[in-house]
Amino acid sequence: MSSSSSSVRTDYDVVEYPHRAFAQTQPDRLAVLGFLFGMQPALPDRCRVLELGGGSGGNLIPLADLYPNSTFYGVDLAQTAIDQGNKRIAALGLTNIRLEQMDVTNFPADAGEFDYIIAHGLFSWVPEPVRDKVLRICQDHLAPQGIAYISYNAFPGCHIRRMWRDMMLFHTRQFEDPKLKVEQGKGMLNLVANGCTRNDPGHLLAKDEMKKRGHLDDAAIFHDDLSGCWQPFYLTEFLSLAGAKGLRYLGEAAYSDMQPTTLTPEALAQFEPIREQDPVAFEQYMDFFKMRKFRQTLLCRATVPAQPAAAVDRMRQFHFSAPIQQVPVQDPNAPPGTTSFRHGINDVTVTTNNPVSLPALRLLAERWPASVSFDEMAAVAGDPQALAAVLHTFYSSAFINIHSIPRPVANSASAKPEVWRVARLEASIDKAIPHLHHGSIELEDDATRHLVTLIDGSRTRDDLAPFAGGLQQLEGTLAKMARAGILIR
């Protein structure tokens, strides 16, 4: 296959998009969801993955290193991004991944079949013919048990986002320079949020939006909020486009997003009957309750029989991990043996003395970031049936991760520690580096970045200590690196 469109300079060549991995697109995660919904998806260590609009390969390159027996193909319109990705691929000597500059509308018919097709941050930001082609590619190239991941801006929440976008677009209409556009756009939001004496709901919303925008990369604001194309969809609209291409709804990439957690019991009782009759309509109603702004929808071929999630029955085949730590119990009246575990990402704390949950969570906390098999957990928790139900509940609330195969990551540093080579390479380029759970962490400073590049399995702690401010600091840093999931030994 070769690139069939000549390279034109795009906005993404002018303002480069961050090079990042997205846990929600990890084939392992997609495989688990496929299994839960009764499919027989390819395992991540033997699969074929296509990514459309994947930029510089921040998402595919770590996967290609992690799964050498799988193949990865990424296409993107921006030549600068492709060049940067290809430099990384050459530096890592990867032979199971290809990145090509291409307009997806020219995607070659002979590209073959893929077990996973990913389009993250593309669909809502491209014109209709490109969107149509994205779905057409899924129709033509998805394997019979393949899963497509497509993220897009969603209604109704994006009605509110559109309000900010329109104000920013109006205010920045006279600026050409992207940096100035972003600065002025944010400034405009700030003014609306804080420069008004009224404190009505609209201004509270503006303040909230300002807070969220404050955390975002300028490149993300430029491309996501201020881009020429910006088309949100209701779930049902998106699925009718997908249906026209022989594809159907499988689920969301975050299983927890499919749970009606924000509803009062009374509201849930009203909608529960719809859930069985028409699961898609149920999900659409849930979007109204959640004011959903963004979806990460999984599609499969319409010919795959639809099945409700057989989650509990499936648990025995999986592996589990959770970024949790034991923390002091807050309730002074808690019965003896009660233990609390805090989730390091979503900051949720679970307190339990349940004889099944407690040993399971303790084992997960000890092992993080490594994964634990169901059998290992059953050995400490007893009662496999109850364990399966408990694990499903924790997965439903995003308190634990499920894996289709064990995740190869060390939870402590060996005598000659080694940071994953993809993370080491990235530390020499950027301050955000990928970890083995397919997200990224930010390194604090240049000294830490340099240290990361040196932890390559050839040096002892004594060799590394001078670069870490001494042995004691090195121990602390290595412990943090282990928790962050960047060590392989």
Ligand X SMILES: C[S@@+](CC[C@H](N)C(=O)[O-])C[C@H]1O[C@@H](n2cnc3c(N)ncnc32)[C@H](O)[C@@H]1O
Q: CB–CB of 345/323 below 8 Å?
A: yes
Residue closer to ligand X by CB (options 254, 334) is: 254
What is the closest distance, in whole angstroms, from the C-beta atom of residue 130 to ligand X in the complex? 4
Residue closer to ligand X by CB (options 47, 102) is: 102
3-state secondary structure of 159: helix
Distance, CA of 18 to CA of 20 (rounded, Å): 6
Distance, CA of 116 to CA of 300 (rounded, Å): 10
CB atoms within 10 A of CB 449: 18
Nearest by Cα to 138 from 24, 246, 295: 246
| Cα distance between the two ends of the chain | 38
Q: CB–CB of 161/124 below 8 Å?
A: no
CB atoms within 10 A of CB 215: 7
* Residue 351 tokens, joined: 């307190």
What is the closest distance, in whole angstroms, from the C-beta atom of residue 179 to ligand X in the complex? 18
Cβ-closest residue to ligand X? 53
Q: Which runs of E-coded beta strand occur in 313-373?
A: 319-321, 324-327, 339-343, 349-352, 372-373
3-state secondary structure of 453: helix
Binding residues for ligand X, rule: CB under 6 A, are 10, 12, 17, 20, 53-55, 75-78, 81, 103-104, 120-122, 125-126, 130, 223
Distance, CA of 374 to CA of 405 (rounded, Å): 11
Phi, psi (degrees; rounded to nearest 5) at 178: -55, -40
Distance, CA of 101 to CA of 99 (rounded, Å): 7
Amino acid occupying residue 4: S
What is the closest distance, in whole angstroms, from the C-beta atom of residue 74 to ligand X in the complex? 9
Q: Report in angstroms the alpha-carbon separations of 326 from 47, 173, 204, 214, 363.
A: 36, 51, 36, 31, 11
Residue closer to ligand X by CB (options 121, 178) is: 121
Residue closer to ligand X by CB (options 121, 146) is: 121
176-188 as b/e: b if 16+ CB within 10 A: eebeebbebbbeb
Residue closer to ligand X by CB (options 233, 395) is: 233
3-state secondary structure of 64: helix
3-state secondary structure of 478: helix
Amino acid occupying residue 221: I
Q: Which runs of E-coded beta strand occur in 168-266?
A: 247-252
* Residue 195 tokens, joined: 């420069």
3-state secondary structure of 295: strand
What is the closest distance, in whole angstroms, from the C-beta atom of residue 10 to ligand X in the complex? 6
What is the closest distance, in whole angstroms, from the C-beta atom of residue 251 to ligand X in the complex? 20
Residue closer to ligand X by CB (options 75, 138) is: 75
Residue closer to ligand X by CB (options 68, 127) is: 127
Residue closer to ligand X by CB (options 232, 359) is: 232
Residue closer to ligand X by CB (options 30, 482) is: 30
What is the closest distance, in whole angstroms, from the C-beta atom of residue 6 to ligand X in the complex? 13
Residue closer to ligand X by CB (options 99, 242) is: 99
What is the closest distance, in whole angstroms, from the C-beta atom of residue 23 to ligand X in the complex? 12
What is the closest distance, in whole angstroms, from the C-beta atom of residue 120 to ligand X in the complex? 4
What is the closest distance, in whole angstroms, from the C-beta atom of residue 89 to ligand X in the complex? 16
284-312 as b/e: b if 16+ CB within 10 A: bbbbebbebbebbbbbbbeebeeeebebb
Residue closer to ligand X by CB (options 25, 339) is: 25
Distance, CA of 304 to CA of 405 (rounded, Å): 23
Residue closer to ligand X by CB (options 65, 76) is: 76
What is the closest distance, in whole angstroms, from the C-beta atom of residue 217 to ligand X in the complex? 10
What is the closest distance, in whole angstroms, from the C-beta atom of residue 170 to ligand X in the complex? 22
Distance, CA of 59 to CA of 434 (rounded, Å): 9
What is the closest distance, in whole angstroms, from the C-beta atom of residue 121 to ligand X in the complex? 3
Phi, psi (degrees; rounded to nearest 5) at 441: -125, 155
Residue closer to ligand X by CB (options 371, 440) is: 440
What is the closest distance, in whole angstroms, from the C-beta atom of residue 208 to ligand X in the complex? 23
